Every structure is written in structure tokens, then in C-alpha cells.
Amino acid sequence: MKRRDALKRLAALGLLATAAPSFAKENEKFCDVYTKYRPQIKNRNWMKIKDPKHPTKGELKHTPDIKIDETNTKGFTKIEVTLGKNGIIHPSSKEHYIDFIEVYADNELVGKTVFEPGEAMGYISYNVKLNGSKTIKAVAGCNIHGIWENKISI
């Protein structure tokens, strides 16, 4: 078997980490939670909704749902991210969970959270200084189903 074929098969099985979030590299040595559960993280492939007009339940379950709320008197805007969309919420168990969420304003990281398997669900709320940003992007990792992102214009 050629090397490329072997890599494709590993990637299809989710056994090959083809990409890692910036979080993983930056904080690996600082974050005990992430390091502790690293063996449970089986998939670091970037995933995409195949047909955005007709997303599957599995795709909706992994899509970060971004909500922009009010701006407070200090000039910070409340941003909430939930996994997933349309009431199809991603589970949180010891075996299957959202392990992190990152939030970007115009591609600048403004917040990141790591979750304990089975102890916290995939949800964050930050107050963010938007500084005229035009987009908000959320990136989230499922330990089994890979890394998913969503971006909205504001």
C-alpha cells in the first residue's frame, strides 16, 4: 500500500491528526485538563457540513451556534457559543464530549475554554471587546467527531 493511501485511510477513520487548533499547540504544556484527557481525543480532523442547505443531525450537533448579545457600559459585548444548533445539543459524557471552544473576532483569538469530560457541556459566554470587528468565529473540538467551526458577520 502506498503511503498516501495509508494516510487517507487513517484520516477517514479519524486516526490521523491532520490539523490541530492553535489552542492545542499553545497550551498543551500549560493545561492539565487537556493533557490529562488527551488519550480520549480520537479525532483532530477539520470537519465541514457537506450540504449547508440540508445539514444532517450529526452536523447540526457539532456546529457552534453563535449569539451576539448586548454591549455593556465598559464596551464589552456578550458572545455566547453553544454546541450545536436547532435544539440538537451535543452530549457530554466521559466517552464523548466537546473538549474545547475557541472564539475569534476577525480571526484574532479572544477566548478559549477547555471542558471536563462529562462534567461540562459545550457552552461558553464571554464579554468581548469587538473593536469594530466584522466577524465572529467559533471553533470547537469533539473528541470523537473532529473540529468544527462557524463564522457569522456582525
Q: Phi/psi of residue 139, each to 5°?
A: -125, 135
- For 109, how many CA atoms within 13 A lie in the half-sphere containing its CB? 11
130 burial class (0-12, 13-18, 19+ CB within 10 angstroms)? middle
Please report whether residue 145 would count as binding Fe ion according to CB under 5 A: yes
> By C-beta, is 112 or 145 nearer to Fe ion?
145
Question: Judged by CB under 5 A, how many residues of this single chain contact Fe ion?
Answer: 2
Output the nine-digit C-alpha cell for 100: 474545547
Please report whether residue 101 would count as binding Fe ion according to CB under 5 A: no
Please report whether residue 142 would count as binding Fe ion according to CB under 5 A: yes
Please report whether residue 85 would count as binding Fe ion according to CB under 5 A: no
Q: How far is the CB of 62 from Fe ion (least distance, A)?
A: 6
Using CB under 5 A as the criterion, which residues of the chain lie in contact with Fe ion when the complex forms?
Answer: 142, 145
